[in-house]
Amino acid sequence: MTLSPRILIADDHPMLLRGLEDTLKFNGYNVIASLSDGATALQMIKELEPDIAILDIEMPLLSGFEIIQKARLQEIKTKFIILTSHKEKGFIAKADQLQIDGYVLKDEPFEELKNCIEAVRLGNCFYSNSFTDIIDNQVKPELARIKQLSASEKIILGFIAKELSSKDIAQELSISIRTVQKHRTNIISKLELSENEVALKDWVREFQQFL
């Protein structure tokens, strides 16, 4: 009789999904479902109520983050581990914000995922070492800089996220182009970005969800 937690896994890459399932079973884990899209994964989480769900972030129909948000709104008791290749600050900041139970990178050895599962089943959180380093040294300072932005600057960033030009933003807000450009300069300074549009647009792509 197995004492393993009931585990559901979801990843949209068939070979990775099959490899993960086989490795988990070989190590004595009880895999009760293996899915390749987010919507089906969420439905099966509702029906099967696994102890742990191991999810990729980017999947068709629903992302791993969206599954977790919807499951928690419905007070599903499943614990969630993100298993991903993403090391970008924006993804890690989102995982931290959602207080996900575990976050492990795919390029780490299986032992790291095993340690994560064991920690989570005991009610603890477990994150890859690189996750903690990025949170402490990159994400937290970035979020602190966001708090320095004024309401007007956040609105300007919202339009930049939509790839509007300074002229278009000025028209939308009924202000002068010069005012928009002044806001851009202040934003770049507060966020400690290099003086170019590419750096600002890259930042917006990662962090607009926190504005």
Let me know whether 110 and 180 are in one domain.
no
- 92 in Cβ contact with 60 (< 8 Å): no
Q: Is residue 141 part of a domain?
A: no
Domain of residue 121 covers 6-135
Let me know whether 98 and 40 are in one domain.
yes
* CATH code assigned at 168: 1.10.10.10
Q: Is residue 140 part of a domain?
A: no
Let me know whether 191 and 161 are in one domain.
yes
pLDDT at 3: 65
Let me know whether 160 and 59 are in one domain.
no
In the numeric block, the tokens 């007070």 are attached to 75
Beta-bridge mates of residue 184:
none
Q: Is residue 142 part of a domain?
A: no
Mean pLDDT of successive 10-residue segments in the chain (211 residues)? 81 93 94 95 96 94 94 94 86 84 91 94 88 79 86 89 88 91 88 74 74 66
Q: Is residue 64 part of a domain?
A: yes
* CATH code assigned at 78: 3.40.50.2300
Let me know whether 25 and 94 are in one domain.
yes
pLDDT at 25: 95
How many domains, in total, are found in the chain?
2
* Domain boundary, last residue among 84, 112, 135: 135
pLDDT at 133: 78
Let me know whether 124 and 53 are in one domain.
yes
CB atoms < 10 A from the CB of 179, how many? 15
CB atoms < 10 A from the CB of 176, how many? 11
Distance CA 200, CA 189 (A): 11
- Got the DSSP string for 41-93? HHHHHHHH--SEEEE-SS-SSS-HHHHHHHHHHTT---EEEEEES---HHHHH
Phi, psi of 193 (to 5 degrees): -100, 160
Q: What Å distances lie between residue 120 and 50, 113, 147, 177, 179, CA to CA? A: 13, 10, 32, 52, 50
Let me know whether 90 and 160 are in one domain.
no
Instruction: Say what the pTM is.
Output: 0.74
